[in-house]
Amino acid sequence: MSAKPDWDAAQYLRFEDERTRPSIDLLARVSLTQPKRCIDLGCGPGNSTELVAARFPDAVTEGLDSSPDMLEKARRRLPGLSFVLGDVNSWSDSTGYDLIFANAVLQWLPDHEGLFPRLARSLKPGGCLAVQMPNNLSEPSHVAMREVAAEGPWAEKLAAAKAERSAIGSFGDYRRWLMEAGCRVDIWQTTYVHALADLGAIAEWFKSTGLKPYLDRLTSEGQQDFVARYLERIAPAYPAESDGKVLLRFPRLFIVATREG
């Protein structure tokens, strides 16, 4: 069996400013003053880790990711920090962190009912679990991915790709799971509106995230065909504005849970 394709850090960073903004907004709601240990789970190329380290310069800040390519970029960006290869889905820490930061990663993992309490148990008393997850599976951008995958000549080949990311829980789910784990919980949702150059830019945005599980399973020719059909399908939902740009709506769910005790 061939190895699972790695994430593409360069493609991801084509929209670095837009992707970093939710991390800034999430970190602004973390009320810690002098944390000693911080970790950025699913740190990617280090753009969110850099924010954590700058906010808490006296803390030991680490990054963890499953992608060698992402970690290479993170180490090059922040040579003074420790970045390790690891699986967030099985990660835990018995010593305890003051801040566990997870920006745009947990939506890819299953069993949130078990995952979130496990992460909370890896906090020190008074520590914070800060999470941001895209909540956009019902947006036209993602509905179109599933429709194109189901209708094209690749339907059977892409059936597994549609299952790689499932819908996240409700506000009430996360509040209940984390309260039962001994946390105070703050939950909110923000819909970002990104003015992108054209429809093609929407495809480029999602090539490193939502479209990736589909495209990774296709030949080069199949990828081009899939993207062409995808652009045709999303066109009515993203009309050009007066300046020619298109507006990509992007809802994101935020959670800050503070462990009591």
Instruction: Please give the average pLDDT of every successive group of 10 residues along the chain, which has 261 residues.
Output: 48 63 95 97 94 97 95 96 96 96 94 97 98 96 96 92 82 98 98 95 91 94 97 98 97 97 74
Q: Output the six-digit token pair for 261.
A: 């005790």
For residue 192, what is the DSSP state?
Answer: E
pLDDT score at 13: 47
Task: Please provide the distance, in angstroms rounded to a whole number, between the alpha carbons at the two ends of the chain.
Answer: 47
* Beta-bridge partners for 164: none
- On whether the CB atoms of residues 135 and 190 are closer than 8 A, the answer is no
pLDDT score at 4: 55
Task: Read off φ and ψ for residue 40, nearest 5 degrees.
Answer: -105, 105
pLDDT score at 5: 59
Residue ranges in 183-251 assigned as alpha helix (H): 199-207, 212-215, 220-234
- The sign of the CA dihedral 141, 73, 56, 123 is positive
Q: What is the spatial distance between Cα 48 and Cα 105, in angstroms, rounded to a whole number?
A: 12
Q: Please list, in sequence order, all residues whose beta carbon lies within 8 angstroms of the beta carbon of residue 19, skipping any fewer than 6 positions away.
A: 12, 13, 47, 104
pTM of the model: 0.89
Reference 20, options 62, 67, 54; nearest CA is 54
- On whether the CB atoms of residues 70 and 86 are closer than 8 A, the answer is no
Q: Are strands 37-41 and 97-103 parallel, antiparallel or unpaired?
A: parallel
> What's the alpha-carbon Rg for the chain, to the nearest Å?
19
Side by side, the strands of the sheet bearing 60-65 are: 82-85, 60-65, 37-41, 97-103, 123-134, 246-259, 183-196
- On whether the CB atoms of residues 178 and 257 are closer than 8 A, the answer is yes
- On whether the CB atoms of residues 65 and 85 are closer than 8 A, the answer is yes
* Beta-bridge partners for 41: 64
Q: What is the spatial distance between Cα 16 and Cα 191, in angstroms, rounded to a whole number?
A: 18
pLDDT score at 261: 74
User: Kindly report the CA angle at 165 between 163 and 171, in degrees rounded to 5?
Assistant: 130
* Beta-bridge partners for 135: none
Task: Read off φ and ψ for residue 134, nearest 5 degrees.
Answer: -55, 135
CATH number corresponding to 9-259: 3.40.50.150
